């Protein structure tokens, strides 16, 4: 599909003028609650990082197909999609001048219920761009970006790369702050790359988000291919939050159709859909294509999710993060039943029913539970770092009336964590940091 975008002076002025309004629609990001996995002392991720940089500043790699508003070095990005990929580093700061590393460390390792510091992006350092008909090459800025990814991979214990794909109604600074949080709570050991697709940054423009997500599907598929072909990552893991699933799930299905059996070379590992805002029928149909070539798929749902309930009423169909399985065809129902019901050590698909009544910190209608709730964020950390099956992550198996298996959190989840998490997959041993630490 050919897509040509031209930005007139009028459009540019409108976009710049709207930046203040968009900022108000995207409130600042607070440091998320400390995952129970860490606050209980089950693991000590910061001590386990021999390359730790004890700082309140946290650089995070990013890739985007948003067209620019301002060029580097003061990069700013519009809500318009393009086929060109842009690579760089988002420089995120946690807190202000009053917050030092000892205070941040305490906030990050205890279940402190007080105010949490804000995260803000000090600048975006765009370092390279790649046209849709260009190759990475053997040298140049794009090659340097992937070389930097490889340097970071060499310092990680599991040699994975995590790609975070944000949801709708999100600007780039907000998405970068969420990606930074995940890197932070892995003890700054996991290589995290934000993929920033062009959300319109407003709930009132949700239809624009849907169109832009659809346009981004082949661009994101290309990025995954580039990441696999140009890095030493053993696995490429993906978190898709909310409408980010409208980019990730169709892209994986596209790669499966285009590459066939060769899709295994992409080394896609864990694919975690957090409250996915995507049509349930389309999601299951797409998953049938890519489930054979990925390591595992986790679908986390809240059947009372307020945001997805609103979208469902507008779309006229349930969302995968709040699914109505009666909408599925007989063929898709059989596929889902088979995928969820296989022996625990054989199933690549897990349905996680996040039930507010069993999670003491979660509101009934929560949509952002994957990082707002310390039990759920703990489970994600274990899943992505240790690649453990649900029964080994202290979760409990259940059966729906139609036979579909799903997993829930037991009431004594925190007490089970110390015996669930094993070494060295999620290490707890201390290691002194070296004089110098590598940065993204």
pLDDT value of position 236 = 97
Question: Which residues of the chain fall short of a pLDDT of 70?
Answer: 1-26, 73-74, 342-347, 421-440
Q: How far apart are CA 196 and CA 127, in angstroms?
A: 15
Q: What is the pLDDT of residue 420?
A: 72
Task: Tell me the C-alpha distance between 373 and 388, whole Å.
Answer: 20
337, 402 Cβ separation under 8 angstroms: yes
- Cα-trace Rg, the chain: 21
pLDDT of 343 reads 56
Encoded tokens for 207: 């239809």
Q: Tokens standing for 92? A: 């995120």
CA distance 337 to 317: 20
E-state strands within 76-143: 76-94, 118-130
Round to the nearest angstrom and report the end-to-end CA distance of the chain: 34
How many angstroms separate the CA atoms of 39 and 33, rounded? Answer: 9
Q: Name every residue whose Cβ is closer than 8 Å to that of residue 10 and which is 6 or more positions away in sequence.
A: none
- Contact between 326 and 320 under an 8 Å Cβ cutoff? The reply is no
Closest by CA position to 196, among listed 162, 220, 231, 222: 220
Exposure string over 218-242, b if 16+ CB within 10 A, otherwise e: bbbbbbbbbbbebbebebbbbbbbb
Contact, 359 vs 373, CB < 8 A?
Answer: yes
What pLDDT does 20 receive? 37
Could you give the CA distance from residue 233 to residue 191 in angstroms, rounded to a whole number? 10
**CA distances (Å), 126 to each of 57, 63, 157, in order?**
18, 9, 28
How far apart CA 272 and CA 255 sit, in angstroms, is: 17
Strand ranges, E, within 214-333:
235-241, 268-274, 296-301
Contact 280, 323 (CB under 8 A): yes
């Amino acid at each position: 599909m050919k897509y040509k975008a031209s930005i007139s002076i009028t459009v540019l002025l409108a976009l710049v003028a709207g930046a203040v309004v968009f900022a108000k629609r995207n409130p600042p990001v607070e440091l998320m609650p400390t995952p129970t996995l860490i606050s209980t002392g089950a693991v000590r991720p910061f001590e386990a990082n021999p390359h730790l940089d004890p700082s309140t500043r946290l650089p995070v790699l990013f890739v985007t197909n948003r067209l620019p508003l301002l060029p580097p070095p003061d990069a700013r990005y519009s809500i318009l999609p393009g086929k060109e990929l842009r690579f760089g580093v988002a420089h995120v700061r946690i807190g202000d001048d009053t917050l030092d590393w000892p205070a941040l460390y305490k906030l990050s390792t205890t279940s402190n219920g007080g105010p949490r510091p804000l995260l803000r992006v000090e600048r975006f350092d765009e370092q390279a761009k790649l046209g849709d008909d260009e190759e990475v090459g053997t040298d140049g800025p794009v090659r340097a970006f992937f070389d930097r990814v490889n340097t970071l991979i060499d310092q990680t214990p599991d040699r994975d790369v995590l790609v975070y794909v944000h949801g709708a109604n999100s600007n780039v600074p907000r998405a970068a702050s969420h990606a930074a949080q995940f890197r932070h709570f892995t003890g700054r050991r996991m290589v995290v790359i934000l993929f920033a697709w062009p959300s319109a940054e407003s709930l009132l423009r949700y239809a624009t988000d849907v169109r832009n997500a659809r346009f981004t599907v082949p661009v994101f598929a290309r990025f995954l291919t580039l990441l696999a072909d140009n890095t030493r990552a053993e696995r490429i893991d993906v978190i898709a939050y909310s409408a980010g699933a409208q980019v990730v799930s169709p892209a994986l299905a596209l790669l499966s159709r285009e590459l066939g059996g060769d899709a295994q070379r992409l080394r896609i590992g864990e694919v975690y859909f957090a409250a996915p805002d995507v049509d349930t029928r389309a999601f299951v149909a797409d998953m049938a294509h890519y489930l054979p070539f990925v390591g595992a798929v986790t679908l986390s749902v809240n059947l009372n999710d307020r945001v997805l309930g609103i979208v469902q009423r507008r779309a006229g169909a349930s969302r995968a993060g709040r699914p109505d399985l009666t909408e599925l065809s007989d063929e898709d129902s059989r596929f889902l039943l088979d995928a969820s019901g296989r022996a625990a050590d054989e199933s690549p698909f897990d349905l996680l029913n996040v039930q507010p009544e069993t999670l003491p910190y979660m509101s009934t209608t929560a949509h952002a539970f994957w990082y707002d709730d310390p039990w759920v964020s703990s489970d994600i950390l274990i899943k992505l770092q240790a690649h453990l099956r649900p029964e080994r992550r202290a979760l409990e198996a259940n059966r729906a009336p139609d036979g579909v298996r799903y997993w829930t959190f037991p009431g004594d989840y925190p007490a089970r964590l110390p015996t669930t998490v094993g070494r060295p997959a999620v290490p707890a041993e201390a290691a002194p940091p070296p004089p110098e630490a590598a940065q993204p």
